[in-house]
Amino acid sequence: MVVAKQIDVISLFPDMFDAISRHGVSGRAFERGLAHLQLWNPREFSTNPYRSVDDRPYGGGPGMVMQAEPLAAAIEAAQARQHDAGVGDPRVIFLAPHGRRLDHDAVMRLASLDGLVLLCGRYEGVDQRLIDESVHECVSIGDYVLSGGELAAMVVIDALLRQLPGALGDAQSADQDSFVDGLLDYPHYTRPEVWRGRQVPSVLLGGDHERIRRWRLQQSLADTAALRPDLLRNRDLSKEESVLLAQSLQAEQPE
């Protein structure tokens, strides 16, 4: 039996998650039961009459800080639900700009876990004691600041769902994606053969699968060298890849 990946999200804006639960590849993954998404609004765990979950920062300064207790109660409810669903050790992840930067390896690691509890911050931040007490790791989706963790959590969920077996349907596979083998994806083309005077590269029309494979690999290598040279520095090239990359660099040289 395939056990659904359990994903719980703590957010003041649970409706935002309709974007991934009702559309596209991620929506289908939930529909097919490959994963289960449960949203928790920390307001529901607030014990004060206004259902507020934030307060002014100790030490002064702008903005408000999310209080520890409603978040802890929401996280504990999510963990209890996951235990009931058979997850031994749900991992609590706080989405924040100071977290470890998300990349393909991190997505694969998260995709291998049975259960995740994603904590989305708002306002100026979250009381540090909650992070020290309840969070296993912090994840950032890039060096910029979003208005809250929701979009980052959706990025994490979307990226890991497409790695689940069966999420992409039979014809597609996530192992063709950019980054899987440490290179950017090759360019794609579809009908018509000529569009606004631009031709589809002739190698793709010939049906010679070995030539097509070599051409795509060469495009991946050339694009990676031009756009993301850092990826090539961390990766050993095979003999074939070195030759293809050298050829493409030579072809770019002016006469």
Is 162 among the residues known to form the active site? yes
CB of 107 to ligand ADE, least distance (A): 14
**Closest-approach residue to ligand ADE (CB):** 152
Instruction: Tell me whether residue 9 or residue 168 sits nearer to ligand ADE (CB atom).
Output: 9
How is residue 86 written in tokens?
A: 């058979």
CB of 96 to ligand ADE, least distance (A): 5
Instruction: Tell me whether residue 141 or residue 160 sits nearer to ligand ADE (CB atom).
Output: 141
Half-sphere exposure at residue 7, Cβ-oriented, CA atoms within 13 angstroms: 24
Instruction: Tell me whether residue 4 or residue 12 sits nearer to ligand ADE (CB atom).
Output: 12
**SS3 of 62, please?**
coil
CB of 123 to ligand ADE, least distance (A): 11
Strands 198-199 and 194-195: antiparallel
d(C-alpha 203, C-alpha 213), whole Å:
10
Is 124 among the residues known to form the active site? yes
How is residue 21 written in tokens?
A: 């639960």
Region for residue 60 given its phi and psi (left: phi exceeds 0; alpha: psi -120 to 50; beta: otherwise): left
Candidates 32, 69, 114, 124; catalytic one? 124
Instruction: Tell me whether residue 97 or residue 182 sits nearer to ligand ADE (CB atom).
Output: 97
Q: Which residues bind ligand ADE (CB under 6 A)?
A: 95-97, 140-142, 144-146, 149, 152
Q: Which residues pair with 115 in a beta bridge?
A: 6
Cis peptide before 192 (omega within 30 of 0): yes
Candidates 32, 43, 57, 97; catalytic one? 97
CB of 91 to ligand ADE, least distance (A): 16
d(C-alpha 93, C-alpha 129), whole Å:
15
Strands 54-55 and 65-66: antiparallel
Is 97 among the residues known to form the active site? yes
Candidates 69, 114, 158, 177; catalytic one? 177
Give catalytic residues, as residue numbers: 97, 124, 162, 177
